[in-house]
Amino acid sequence: MDELRGLPHLAADGLMPLWLAAEYGIPARAGVVRFSWLQATAGAERKRRIYWLGWGPECLGWGPRLVRHGLLCAVGRRYLGVAPGDWDSLAIWTKRRLPQGHRWVANNRAALRRIPRPDAEWWQGGWSPVAVEVDTGKRGFDGPEGLRARVERWAGVYAGVVFLTPSEARAEALVWVFRDRHVRVVLLPRWWEAAEGREV
């Protein structure tokens, strides 16, 4: 029974760290077990061997950046306490899973065509989802102006924005960049082994 309760979590996330699957009661046989050598943050000197559980065989071709973003989304959802039925992991799935997501896209197709997809969409019960973005602090990528421009484009269609980051320095930078906007920044400093975090 624990396995059946846990499978909606794996289906929602697409993949998750093996330790998180164990917390949900999902046995390894429910998916495909792999490990990846990943930098906890972009530019980190040390790589960590992280075991993870994937939903199906399509995960076999995923590269390290996609895997890291997908794992961080899964840990972030756990930290935020979001139910599987309120979450679409767009970092992993190319198509939205949720009926409300399909209806929302159909009603906002023109507006969404002009903006980048976030890494996940979190439905909190309103007319629009919250955009959830993983930011690992890659140097030279999407500086302050680019970050603000992306959030401003999301503001017209999304109900809010949450950034998930494993880097304390990056979290502080994001808070500074968005100091005059309502953007939540969640720090997940040990995401490869625990869903510990704090809002910065």
Type of residue found at 194: A
pLDDT band at 165, cuts 50/70/90? very high
The confidence score (pLDDT) of residue 11 equals 92
Per-residue pLDDT, averaged over 61-76, amounts to 94
Instruction: Give residue 109's pLDDT.
Output: 92
Structure tokens at 193: 């082994």
pLDDT grade for 1, boundaries at 50, 70 and 90: very low
The per-residue pLDDT for 136 is 86
Q: Quick check: 170 pLDDT over 60?
A: yes
Tell me: the pLDDT tens digits for 34-61? Answer: 999 999 888 788 999 999 999 988 888 8
What number of other Cβ atoms are within 10 A of residue 118's Cβ?
Answer: 24
H or E segment to which residue 3 belongs: helix 2-13
pLDDT tens-digit map of 178-187: 998 889 999 9
Backbone φ, ψ for residue 15 (5° rounding): -160, 160
pLDDT score of 169 more than 50: yes
| Lowest model confidence (mean pLDDT) among 29-38, 46-55, 146-155 | 146-155
Ranges assigned E (strand) in 15-119: 15-17, 32-39, 47-54, 87-89
Q: What is the mean pLDDT of the chain?
A: 91
- Report CA-CA distances (Å) from 145 to 2, 123, 132, 180: 46, 27, 19, 14
Structure tokens at 190: 């040990």
Q: Which amino acid is at 87?
A: W
